[in-house]
Structure 1
Amino acid sequence: MRQAITFVLPFILMSTFCSEEGRGGEKVAFIGESRFEYEYKVLQKLVQLEEGQSKLELKLKEKSNIVEHLTEELKEAHASIEALNDVIDKMEAEGPGQGETYVRWGRTTCPDNGAELVYDGYTAGSHFTNSGAAVNYLCLPKKPLWAKYNDGLNEERAYVYGAEYQRNDESPHTYQHDVPCAVCKTPRAPVRMIPARNECYNGWTLEYRGVLVAGKYKHAAASEYVCLDESPESIEGGNEDLNGILMYSVEGRCGSLKCPPYINGRELTCAVCSYVSYQNTRGNQNRHWTSGK
């Protein structure tokens, strides 16, 4: 534009001082001063507009560069946020600490939910007739290690026996069979057995579900409540009626036990659940770290 103005300017100045022949051959003279001032001001405006346009184009280019730079930084920020979210998801899966172990009674494997098998073995405990019995069930490994020992029988000892299922009405195919067990390690912690529920509460992960079992109420030996898997297995070859520590289903008895919600004579379920303090909220707007889009 500036070149065009420079080219036109001399012609405009020349026309200021020229005269034109009017009708009938009469010479008409323009008033040069007013015409010159007018056209000069017009040229000044044109030059100013050109300079303004140049400045505006320069500013627009600078703004465009800034926008491109900020766009790249925003992409990098989004990538960093996603990387942080992936790290947190991994922490959620692994739990806040080193995890925790639990026993899966009646099975030889661990659930397919990130839990690892520490060992599988034999459920054992005190004989149901012993009044001085230990109350807890044990999960004995299949390959014991020995220290100092005496193979002779001695009454100055505590005794440990194998375990048998005594749930003929609910699981006749395992009745009087020996009970296996599996010790599992989950990356989540803590782990809790929840009686009378076969589902976990919100925020908890189900390790396994089953039925609540314990020793028979009128046997001499005390016992504890444990959660027997809903699909119990048997130890191979262990189907003789040799007794030992026994597993009976647990049913409710109304009285001091509130009925409802409990029902007199109904067998209780159970669930083993694990918990992590970091909750996976992928897809939630309030997930760990978020970025506006």
Structure 2
Amino acid sequence: MILCFVFGLVLFGRTLLASQEEPVCTSRFDYDHKMLQKMVMLEIEQRNTKIALEEIKTTLSKQTDGSRQEKLLLANIEEKIKEVETATSVLRSGNTYVRWGRTQCPENGTELVYKGYAGGSHFNNKGASANYLCLPEQPLWNVYEDAEQTASTVYGAEYELYGRNMNNFFGKGVADHNVPCCVCRTNRASILMIPGRNKCYDGWTLEYEGYLSSGHYSHEASSEFVCLDAKPEIINGGSADENGKLFYFVEARCGSLRCPPYVNGRELTCVVCSK
């Protein structure tokens, strides 16, 4: 009787894991909250099956002549608990990052969540938001008015990457072209962007390498530092100089920055690593 109950309990947990869809979310906070709820449910299911398994082991240990069927059922339950534990571990350890300048994620066990268009506030607006956005290709709308309102604004992004010889960087010119992006998910728990390096430290997995990028120091709007992929793609048909949110190289300036090891005027590299 106990065995049948526990077997059904484990199967319920496995069905719960398999049937739950990815939560429909309106923000990164909402996504994290719902994923946390999902993880808690799996943790509870895992704990319940472990407790029941211990009860079964205790019962069978008292039955020296336990049937072959009972022993096979016990082994089956243990196997299914391992499946739940593995799935829970994967859910717990996952993390996401944006790959700026590319439409595909690296082939290292990382999955594509979505691809889209880099954007953000206009480079010359006072009070503009600093961060870059990766806007999906298929937006969904709620209540809206098409007339322009007094509000915050989002523009597309362009490469403002100039140099005496751009072929030294990318093998092609990308200035004024629109910037793509994609959001990637890895099962590794920690994501780290390291400025000034193009290789990960030992024990970390390379997600992608590139050049440190931000807005221009002289513009009204502030910006953040992001890692632009070393092999950037462009969005076809977007070569007009329309500005918006801009990507510039970031150069070292000696003084308070220690030189060496840094070199004045040299473009800084970057790397995104996971562990």
Please report the TM-score for the alignment, with normalisation by the length of structure 1.
Answer: 0.60
Q: Which amino acid aligns with 2:219?
A: H
- 1:97 positional shift: 2.7
1:162 alignment partner in structure 2: 156
Identity of aligned residues (%): 59
RMSD: 1.7
**1:177-218 C-alpha deviation (Å, 9 max, x unpaired):** 000000000111110111101000111000000000000110
Q: Secondary structure at the match of 1:173?
A: coil
Unaligned runs of 5+ residues in structure 2 are 1-81
Offset at 1:95? 6.2
**One-letter identity of the residue aligned with 1:160:** V
1:102-153: CA deviations, max 9, x gaps?
A: 0000000000000000000000001111011100000000000001111111
Unaligned runs of 5+ in 1: 1-86, 276-293
The aligned residue for residue 249 of structure 1 is: 249
Q: Distance in 2 between matches of 1:128 and 1:145?
A: 26
Counterpart in the other structure of 1:203: 203
- The correspondence of residues 25-104 of structure 1 with structure 2, limited to 5 A, is 97-104=92-99
Residues of 1 paired with 2:130 and 2:240: CA distance? 23
Residue by residue over 1:146-168, the C-alpha shift from the partner in whole angstroms, topping out at 9 and shown as x without a partner, is 011111111x2001000000112
Q: Which amino acid aligns with 2:135?
A: L
In the alignment, is the contact (CA less than 8 A) between 1:95 and 1:189 conserved in 2?
no
1:236 shift after superposition = 1.3
Deviation for aligned residue 1:255: 1.0
Distance 2:212 2:140 in 1: 31
Tell me which amino acid in the other structure corresponds to 1:213: S
Q: How does 1:129-148 map to 2 (within 5 A)?
A: 129-148=124-143
- Counterpart for residue 269 of structure 1: 269
CA contact (8 A) 1:165 1:176 kept: yes
1:96 Cα deviation (Å)?
8.3
What letter corresponds to residue 123 of structure 2 in structure 1? F
Q: Hey, which bits of structure 1, 4+ residues long, moved more than 3 A?
A: none
- For residues 96 and 162 of structure 1, the distance between their equivalents in structure 2, rounded to whole angstroms, comes to 33
Partner of 1:115: 110
Equivalent pair of 1:100/1:190 in contact (CA under 8 Å) = yes
Whole-angstrom distance in 2 between the partners of 1:145 and 1:266: 42
Contact 1:123 1:180 survives alignment (8 Å): yes
1:97 match: secondary structure: helix
Mapped to 2, the partners of 1:249 and 1:173 lie a distance apart of: 14
Map of 1:214 onto structure 2: 214
Count of residues in Structure 1 that have an aligned counterpart in Structure 2: 184
Judge conservation of contact 1:96–1:189 (CA < 8 Å) in 2. no
Structure with higher Rg: it is 1
Query: Is this contact kept in 2: 1:191–1:272, CA < 8 A?
Result: yes
> Which amino acid letter does the alignment assign opposite residue 159 of structure 1?
T
Helix, strand or coil for the counterpart of 2:173?
A: helix
Relative to structure 1, is the Cα distance of residues 131 and 187 closer, same or farther in structure 2, using a 3 angstrom cutoff? same
SS at the partner of 2:208? strand
Counterpart of 2:240 in structure 1 is: 240
Q: What TM-score comes out, normalization by structure 2 length? A: 0.64
